[in-house]
Amino acid sequence: MTIREYIELVFSDYTLRTITLGTAILGAVCGMLGSFAVLRKQSLLGDAISHAALPGIAIAFLITGAKNGNTLLIGALISGLVGTFWIRGIIKKTQLKSDTALGLILSLFFGFGMLLLTFIQKMPNANQAGLDKYLFGQAATLVEADVWLMGIVMTISVLVLFAFWKELKLLLFDVDYAKSLGINTIFLDILITSFIVLAIVIGLQTVGVVLMSAMLLAPAAAARQWTNSLGIMVLLAAIFGAFSGVLGTAVSASSNNLSTGPVIVLIAAIFVVFSFIFSPGRGLLFKEIRYWKNRNDLQLFKTLAFMQNIAKTHEDISHPHAIKILNNFQGYTKRSLKKLESREYITVAGGMWAMTQKGFDKATNLYNQQENTYD
């Protein structure tokens, strides 16, 4: 199947269109809200919440007895919120640290959820089949109503982000200042956490409990590498998330036996790795190049300083000297000589070099951090 055929198929095939749209919206919502989780150092909270949502799904099913998606989601939402606030309670009131609290709630809630699920499976109720799709997610079960729900959640979260943008920004970067301005930080905290829980809950059906946290983190972590501005980061994270969804759906649809959730997560992980390496400001590659450049410059300036020492002994600093006398100096190579010449620090003629005024000044001011007029 060529790419063009696939794109045509997306527009003509109902199931594929629904799934593509659903995963795209989900990726965008998660990326947006995930940015806040990542910046607030709550990355693993998403993991805990998604696991904590499981017993809610099971209990909602036990109470209503119906597999209606929305009631199950409300159950998941409630138990996710209970888990979140219990985590806070543990961190605030006991000596247990955040990692222990997260791990505790995650495993205990999930185990309890599994207990309920296996209990449900033994019940004489034909309806129960398919609850385990919430474990690993099945994007194929998405229907139009689910996509509408995701769309509504996305619209509301965008509106909330716009409405509280300034306040949320302050909450992220300077809580104390926000408090001193009279902003209700507790309300904002609960607001943004609740929306993160909401995003996780609507994603459970698609990517499942186990991998949901990656949907939240990966796009945001990738976006963080490209910008220092919150607005751009949120936008980029939404785009990365949406692309992971669309590409992941495409890859899993084009091959047998590939569940969508893990593929989406892997694509998002590729975005992260690419950003880690190639982002211009923070990326590892450019950092390495910068180091390398600095090291070379250091060698170059060492040579220049040595030359200046020689040139100083003459009244005319541009008095030519033999290149030979540099031979014993460590760090000198023919290349560095050429480089110095190209920067007009010295002139080379025959076997002789002579310092220029510019080179002399540069060497004099080497250790002066303020002086950056050259280069």
Partner 1 sequence: MTSAQVEIQLIASIVAIACAIPGTFLVLRKMAMISDAISHSILPGIVVGFFLTEDLNSPWLILLAALTGVITVFLVEYIQKTGLVKEDTAIGLVFPALFSIGVILIAKNANDIHLDIDAVLLGELAFAPFDRLVVNGIDLGPKSLWVIGTILVLTLGLLFIFFKELKLSTFDKGLATSLGFSPVLLHYGLMSVASVTTVGAFDAVGAVLVVALMIAPPAMAYLLTNDLKKMLALAAFFGVLGALGGYWLAHGLDASIAGSMTSVLGVLFLIVYLFAPDKGLLSVMYRQRRQKIEVHLLTFLLHLQNHEEASERHVKHLNEHINWQTVRSKSVLELALKNNMITISDDIISLTAKGKEFTKEAINYIMTNKSAAIEEMKDRFFLFRG
Q: Kindly indicate which of the ranges 60-68, 92-100, 138-146, 348-356 contains the residues binding partner 1, using the contact rule CB under 8 A.
A: 92-100
Biggest alpha carbon–alpha carbon distance for the chain: 104
Nearer to partner 1, 136 or 164 (CB): 136
Of 21, 87, 90, 326, the residue at the interface with partner 1 (CB under 8 A) is 90
Residue 257 binds partner 1 (CB under 8 A): yes
Other beta carbons within 10 angstroms of residue 43's beta carbon come to 17
Of 111, 130, 231, 351, the residue at the interface with partner 1 (CB under 8 A) is 111
On whether the CB atoms of residues 34 and 161 are closer than 8 A, the answer is no
**How far is Cα 286 from Cα 108, in angstroms, rounded to an integer?**
43
Tokens of 105: 């709630």
Buried b (16+ CB within 10 A) or exposed e, 292-317: eeeeeeebbbbbbebbbebbeeeeeb
H-helix or E-strand containing 348? strand 346-349
Residue 219 binds partner 1 (CB under 8 A): no
On whether the CB atoms of residues 53 and 29 are closer than 8 A, the answer is no
Of 19, 73, 135, 300, the residue at the interface with partner 1 (CB under 8 A) is 135
Nearer to partner 1, 256 or 372 (CB): 256
Nearer to partner 1, 132 or 189 (CB): 132
Q: Kindly indicate which of the ranges 18-26, 107-115, 299-307, 339-347 contains the residues binding partner 1, using the contact rule CB under 8 A.
A: 107-115
Nearer to partner 1, 27 or 359 (CB): 27
Nearest-5° angle of CA 117, CA 120, CA 125?
Answer: 145
Residues in the site for partner 1, rule: CB under 8 A?
Answer: 38, 41-44, 46-47, 89-90, 93-97, 99-100, 102-104, 106-119, 122, 132, 135-136, 210-211, 213-214, 216-218, 221, 224-225, 257-259, 261-263, 265-266, 269, 272, 276, 282, 284
